[in-house]
Amino acid sequence: MIINYIERKINQVIRHSAAWLETRFKQWTKPATGLQVIGTLVDLKRSKRELIAENMFLRQQLIVLERQVARPRMTQRDRQTLVLLASRIRGWREALIVVKPDTLIGWHRLGFRLFWRRKSRVRQGRPLIPVETIALIEEMAIHNRTWQAKRIQGELLKLGIKVSKETIRKYIRRARQALPPLKRSQTWTTFLANHASETWACDFVQTYDLFFRTVFMYFIIELDSRKVVHYGVTRSPSDGWVAQQAREATPYAEGPRFLIRDNDTKYGQCFTRVAEDRQIMVLKTPVEAPQANAICERFIGSVRRECLDHILILSERHLNRVIGEYVAYFNHARPHQGIGQRIPDPPEDTLSADMALPSRIVGYPVLGGLHHNYRQAA
């Protein structure tokens, strides 16, 4: 019994000793898993024999990897670390495996060039521009959309301010960043606004009499005042008839600079010759674009809504009289929204806005009472 007990104790001690040796061997042969700095600090406490063995272990792994792994990718941090460690090791050429020694030397030279380039660069830059000059450049860029950097530079030099074109371009971009893009060509709306006082527009209106016979009306309107310059009524409009209407609208050869019309075939060579004799430039509107002649189209709509839709036309002569009365009312009595509720051609005795109301206001019927013209009683 005693002998068996002693044998069990001996076997237990042997197993514990073997387990302790195995644990110590694993700890001794296990490589560091932390960061490189921490691993370096840990290596200071290790013996020289252990470091030599670990070095042999790592070299053997690199030999195996070199047989099957292609050239690895090197980050900027890896290059800097290798250059720094190579400066501290004598035999770095023999220990370097991942790249060639010439490559490592090239990294060192590149870092040397970058260091001295940064160290020797000129610290002094361009002088700061006054805030007032910057505000002036931005104001010029906003209010003069067609001006570029060279044009603004010349304007500043005229004022005694010297600024480079690159600096002006920077502030131009900042000032115009929130503005809509500039259209290089002039829009039709801008053209009409700039030349409304010297532009007329003309167009035909088709209607029917009591017996469903076609009758045509022709109107010429001044865009600036919205005044109906001339009108005509006929059953068979032709090139000669339209040319005669143009002559009657300009009796003393005094006409507009521009005349807007559509692409109707009624405007022929006779009409073109009359326009050329009076030095009128005829502007044709695009096909199926009624907004290009919007003012004339709006007047035609007023004629239909305020006159033709409420009266039965008996004949051409009757239509001529009705249209004449409406045109007189439109020119001399009807306020127009497009010109600020003003009358296109007001009479001389029209009351001004700041005058006191007269004692008596009388409404004169127009078109048989369809409309009324309110005026001061005589």
Which whole-number Å values give the CA distances from 255 to 231, 248, 367, in the listed order? Answer: 15, 11, 30
Could you tell me the pLDDT band of residue 184, with boundaries at 50, 70 and 90? low
Whether residue 21 is predicted with pLDDT greater than 80 in this model: the reply is: no
Say if CB 332 and CB 346 are below 8 A apart: yes
Compute φ and ψ for 32, nearest 5 degrees.
-70, 140
pLDDT average, residue stretch 331-342 = 86
The CATH architecture one would assign to domain 190-347 is: 2-Layer Sandwich (3.30)
pTM: 0.53
Residues 321 and 217: their CA atoms lie apart, in Å, by: 12
What per-residue confidence (pLDDT) applies to 255?
A: 86
Question: How far lies 369's CA from each of 95, 185, 286, 327, 373, in Å?
Answer: 114, 49, 39, 15, 10
pLDDT at 183: 66
Residue 200 parent element (H or E): strand 199-208
Alpha-carbon distances of 210 from 153, 171, 236, 313, rounded to whole Å: 72, 70, 17, 6
Buried b / exposed e along 228-239 (16+ C-beta atoms within 10 A): bbbbbbbeebee
**Helix extents (H) in 160-218:** 165-175, 188-194
pLDDT value of residue 360: 80
The alpha carbon dihedral of 180, 185, 191, 194 has a sign of positive
SS3 75: coil
Domain boundaries, the chain: 1-30, 34-119, 131-175, 190-347
CA distance 244 to 231: 11
In this predicted structure, the answer to whether residue 204 has a pLDDT above a threshold of 90 is yes
Interval 182-207 mean pLDDT? 84
- Do 207 and 319 contact (CB within 8 A), yes or no? yes
With beta carbons less than 8 A apart as the criterion, state whether 270 and 237 touch: no
Confidence at 27, pLDDT banded by 50, 70, 90 = low
Mean pLDDT of 51-78: 69
pLDDT at 327 over 90: yes
Amino acid code (one letter) for 68: Q
The least confident of 263-267, 298-302, 338-342 is 338-342
Please, what is the average pLDDT of the chain? 83
